[in-house]
Amino acid sequence: MKPEMITLKHGDASIKMPASSLAKLAMASVFAQVLPPAANVQTVATPAVPAIGTYWPGHGGINGGFVAARGDVPAHYLIIARDDVGSHEWGNRGKESGATSKTDGHANTITLLTDEGHPAAEAADGYAADGHEDFYLPAAAELYQGWLNCPEVFAQDCYYWSSSQRSAGNAFYMYFDDGLQSFLGKYDELRVRPVRRFFI
C-alpha cells in the first residue's frame, strides 16, 4: 500500500513527503516547545587527571603516566602504589618461567602466581589501596616508565624487581638513582613496588 503523500508549499518552494513523516516532524516540534531544551541538561564532569608523580585520589596510587594500547592491552594510566611492600626474592631460581613479557606485568604476575614460589609477585598481588585489589608486579618496561616519568617516588638507594624473567636463574630489575636496568639472581631480595592499570 502506497503511503499517503502531502505537499507543502511556501512561496516558490514546495516539498512532498509521506503524511506519517510530517506527523513525526509536527510532534517533534511540539515536544521541542513543551520540554526543556537539551542545553539545560547538566553534563557529568570528567575528573581532572593529576600531574604525573602525584597521588590520584580514589585510584590507589600515583599517576605514573599514560600507556598507549599495545597488543591485547587497551590504553590506560599506570598507577604506582604509594609505598613499597618490602624486599623479597623473585623466586624459583633455576626454573624457567613463562613470565617473559617486558611490557605486560599483569600477565607476568598471573603466570608467576600460577607457578607458585614467587614471593615478589605474591607481595605485589596482595597489596590493596582505595578499594582496589588489582595490583601486580610491574614488567621491566613499566618500571622504566616509572623512571622516565617520576623516579623521585621510588627509593634511590636500592634495586626494584620487575616481573620480567631473563633466564632460569635471573630476572630484570630497575635502579632509580641513575636508570640502570639489568638482571640479578632470582634468590636476591630486592624491593617491590606494586602497580595497577586505570583503563580509559
Q: Which of 126, 111, 115 is nearest to 163 (CA)?
A: 111
Cα 135 to Cα 52: distance, rounded to the nearest angstrom: 19
Average pLDDT over residues 62-91: 97
Q: Look at residue 80 and tell me whether its pLDDT is greater than 90.
A: yes
Q: How confident is the model at residue 175 (pLDDT cuts 50, 70, 90)?
A: very high
Q: Look at residue 170 and tell me whether its pLDDT is greater than 70.
A: yes
Residue 160 backbone phi and psi in degrees, to 5: -115, 135
Q: What is the pLDDT of residue 4?
A: 73
Query: CA neighbours within 13 Å on the CB side: how many for 115?
Result: 21
Domain ranges of the chain: 5-40, 55-199
Average pLDDT over residues 137-162: 98
The CA dihedral of 104, 107, 113, 117, to the nearest 10 degrees, is -40
Q: What is the pLDDT of residue 146?
A: 98
pTM score of the predicted model: 0.77
pLDDT digits (tens, 9 = 90+) for 37-64: 544 444 445 569 999 999 999 999 999 9
